[in-house]
Structure 1
Amino acid sequence: MKLSAIHSAILLSLIPTTSVLAAGLDRSGQSISAFLQPGNYVEAGISVLDPEIKGKDNAGHKVSDMAEDYYFPSAAIKIQATDKISVGLIYDQPYGADSQYSTDAGAFGDGKQGTGVEVKTNNITALIGYQPTENWNVYAGPVFQTVEAKVSLRGAAYGGPAAVGGYDIALKEEDAYGWLAGFAYQIPAIALKAAVTYRSEIKHEVETFETFGLGKLVFPSSTTEITTPQSVNLDLQSGIAQNTLAFANIRWVHWSQFAVTPNILKAKSKNNLIDYSDDQWSASVGLGHKFNAKWSGTAAVGYDSGAGNPVTTLGPTEGYWSIGLGGQYSPAENYFIQAGVKYFWLGDAQAQTGGRVAGSFEDNTAFGYGMKIGYRF
């Protein structure tokens, strides 16, 4: 059952929306699947998440949808420089957050403004791989990463303006470096492929601006340490029947030691701005099938453990279950277009601030969408 390169491209990615919603601040899932494609290859894609996260505060008042829609692009190029050496670049946005509570006066708003958060990251990963035989690929490379964020806390859950309910923080964009390393094993005749990839933590020293009392108390800029977590990805696939592949992805992220602790906020409230209590474990398993020369499809189910409960009020869900469907159209053997959709059942969670539960968020859902174009040359 020898599968051609276009057959194996069914699993280039499950669907572009595989990891648009995950524990902690995890977004992209940090896949390197493009680098493991045969020959020379380039791709570009975009993923969109449309969540709906509602709940109740401790007084029983309804909290309207606080989750903002967001999208993020990705791109990659891989060059097979020689029979044994390959090089590549991968761009993604691995971590992020985007939420905005209602301005209504209550636990998370003061009548004029609502609690909100925006976190953005960018990653560029450079890879070099060595293939001593057809079966093995050992790879490593540096990672360039930028981080920036802004957060506003409003409402009674944070003690109002007299405490931290009028707190704002801006973390200026800053860059730092990390690294990754891994290996892959494959048997092309049966479309068998297994890859293990480790990514290091990356430490940032971010210039920080903090204000209290709705801007009445302004502090000089300081420095906040933010360490994005180390992670391990395990990717598996194998042909199981003619034109049919089974696949799985398992991911671990070390969120249990993650914390953002601005100096002035810590001194005034004795609390972190964001932290998590557990590591994230996630998995996705499914099937890909090639229907004819131009069309193929995938179906998969996914699970994410979350990063602990109670959780931060800035992201009040704990993990998820999901189901996804994707399709791929290949007008010619050297290029294709992918699209997919995924539905998420979000885990119930209690949202806390200052070590106290401020509300409960239950029975929430999300839709993910994605599209990707790939080209072999």
Structure 2
Amino acid sequence: MKLKYLSTAMILATLPATGAFAAALDRSGQSMSAFFQPGNYFEAGISVLDPTVKGKEAGESLQPHRDIGDMADDYYFPSAALKLQVTDQFSFGLLYDQPFGAKAAYSGQNVFVGSSSDTVLPKPRLDAMAADKISGAVNDTVALLTTGATLPTNHDLYAQQQKVQGTINALVQQQMAANPGAPEAVIRPAVIAGVKAQITPDVTKTVTDKVEAGITGVNKLLPGQGGTNVEVDSQNIAFVFGFQPIKNINLFAGGVYQTIKGDVSLRGTAYSVFNGYDAHIKETGGAGWLVGAAYQIPEIALKASITYRSEIDHDVNIKENISALDALSLLYPTPEAGLARAKAIRDDNNKDTTITTPQSVNLDFQTGIMANTVAFANVRWVNWKDFAIQPYQFGLFSKEVGPAVSRPNGFNLVEYSDDQWSVNAGVGRKLNEQWAGNVSVGWDSGAGNPITTLGPTEGYWNLGLGVQYSPTPATFIAGGVKYFWLGDAKAQTGAQAGEDRYIASFEDNNAIAYGLKIGYRF
């Protein structure tokens, strides 16, 4: 079974659309196939994804549960590769892709879209907090006015305390005059109890007005209209050096330079006090590495390879804005203390945040199964379980509000609970000297469920078709399409991550990916 040239026709096995809608932020699939092409080789491709991700408020969202329209935006990403066979034993490659990314925008009327009626906390919870704060403040104020130590003259309750204490002393003297021989230790507590009962209604009204004014003021800090949106982009170029000690083995390694950038805006009551949070991640670069090995028997179109890619750290000063930061005035014992802490967080804006893109392993295999026909498979693992993003000021604020949601150590903007596993397999066939085609099926595990509201799907199944036309033995044009059945998922905010709590559910969604690639051998 002579299949020496069949691998040229079967380049569709790694059509760019392969990883178009993978778990978490995974996008391109980081294929190494171009580096294993014989001789000198160049390719360029583009993939386009058209997803539909709709859902419904659920879980901790207040009733009635409203529909959530399509929140997944279309996107595209290019790829390119140049491979040079410098000598019989040494090769060099430049591989460019955009491995990680996200693009989503919420609209309509739901918990992910702001409105003029938004409150920093759900109204039942805000009412309960206000009642508790009013009760505590009334008790403290009444005690301070009637039995507390004398206040300094610049205290806002000084004059009122002097008046109340004067009234108490006058009443004590009257009672002692009316009851000769009665000890003051008996009379004074009774008088104080009576004065407390008299002043409590006025104190309650004053405190209630102040607390309600504070809540109203904090609610006005929220941005109002606008939907939650996220856009993350990355670029990756690998410099790969290969050594072929014998014709069947290829050992390779290289350096990787990667950039990331992004913008995130959280809107709507789903995010509580983070409604109105904005983060701008300016483009920043980081370096990593890759290493792997490949084995091939060209006569039967057999190729097998394994590639490891390292983590890459990006240190970036994220520009953040927290609209409701002054809501700390409601959480601290006094509004002044809360506002002082808010100012300290707002001014502490010169610290870098480290974003670490995950390590991964790709295993690729293909072999001839009959004349002019090959079977192929790709298995990919990505370490999303250890990935998290916690912008610096976001982290500080989350530690302040965390105890209120049983997260005393704060929480992340984005995190995932599971690693991603994906498998793509199929069959390709050479029809004649110019035409070839393939069919493939794919599965992706997702990165956990519940999952972040910024990408609420759990893996997928897909079915793909591809075709390739070779006008000359040295050139080809390939195109393909894949249909994705996206996994149902429950969406949760950062404050809910790590638990079964969620705020919305997304079911029965899908996506279509299109890919185009051109190649040239020289």
Give me the TM-score of the superposition, normalised by structure 2: 0.70
Match for residue 515 of structure 2 among 359, 370, 377: 370
1:106: Cα distance to partner?
Answer: 2.9
**Kept after mapping to 1: 8 A contact 2:9/2:430:** no
> Deviation digits for residues 151-201 of structure 1, max 9, x if unmatched?
000001011xxx101100111111010000000000111011100000000
Match for residue 115 of structure 1 among 220, 225, 228: 228
Report what 1:324 is aligned to.
464
Report what 1:63 is aligned to.
68
How many matched pairs? 373
Report what 1:264 is aligned to.
393
Report what 1:36 is aligned to.
36
Report what 1:169 is aligned to.
279
Report what 1:158 is aligned to.
271
- For residues 30 and 214 of structure 1, what CA distance do their matches in structure 2 show? 40
Structure 2, unpaired ranges of 5+: 116-224, 327-342, 399-409
> Deviation digits for residues 187-229 of structure 1, max 9, x if unmatched?
1110111000000001111111110117998553431111100
Q: Does residue 349 of the first structure (1) align with residue 353 of the second (2)? A: no
Shift of the 254–308 alpha-carbon distance from structure 1 to 2, 3 Å rule, reads: same
- For residues 465 and 306 of structure 2, what CA distance do their matches in structure 1 show? 25
- For residues 85 and 14 of structure 1, what CA distance do their matches in structure 2 show? 24
1:6: Cα distance to partner?
Answer: 5.3
Q: Which amino acid aligns with 1:79?
A: L
**Kept after mapping to 2: 8 A contact 1:24/1:276:** yes
Report what 1:211 is aligned to.
321
Match for residue 435 of structure 2 among 295, 319, 323: 295
**Kept after mapping to 2: 8 A contact 1:286/1:299:** yes
Report what 2:10 is aligned to.
10
Instruction: Pick the structure with more strand per residue.
Output: 1
**Kept after mapping to 2: 8 A contact 1:256/1:278:** yes
Q: Does residue 239 of the first structure (1) align with residue 368 of the second (2)? A: yes
Q: Which amino acid aligns with 2:472?
A: A
Give secondary structure in 2 for the equivalent of 1:154. Answer: coil
- For residues 194 and 361 of structure 1, what CA distance do their matches in structure 2 show? 38
1:5: Cα distance to partner?
Answer: 3.1
Match for residue 140 of structure 1 among 228, 233, 253: 253
Q: Does residue 230 of the first structure (1) align with residue 359 of the second (2)? A: yes
Question: Which runs of structure 1 show a deviation greater than 6 angstroms over 4 or more consecutive aligned residues?
Answer: 214-217
1:14: Cα distance to partner?
Answer: 3.5
Structure 1, unpaired ranges of 5+: none
Give secondary structure in 2 for the equivalent of 1:13. Answer: helix
Q: Does residue 106 of the first structure (1) align with residue 127 of the second (2)? A: no
Report what 2:45 is aligned to.
45
Give secondary structure in 2 for the equivalent of 1:30. Answer: coil
1:271: Cα distance to partner?
Answer: 1.6
Give me the TM-score of the superposition, normalised by structure 1: 0.96
Farther off after superposition, 354-363 or 91-100? 354-363
Greater C-alpha Rg: 2
**Kept after mapping to 2: 8 A contact 1:209/1:222:** no
**Kept after mapping to 2: 8 A contact 1:14/1:300:** no
Report what 2:383 is aligned to.
254
**Kept after mapping to 2: 8 A contact 1:15/1:341:** no
- For residues 485 and 249 of structure 2, what CA distance do their matches in structure 1 show? 38
1:268: Cα distance to partner?
Answer: 1.5
**Identity in percent:** 57
* CA root-mean-square deviation: 1.4
Q: Which amino acid aligns with 1:363?
A: D
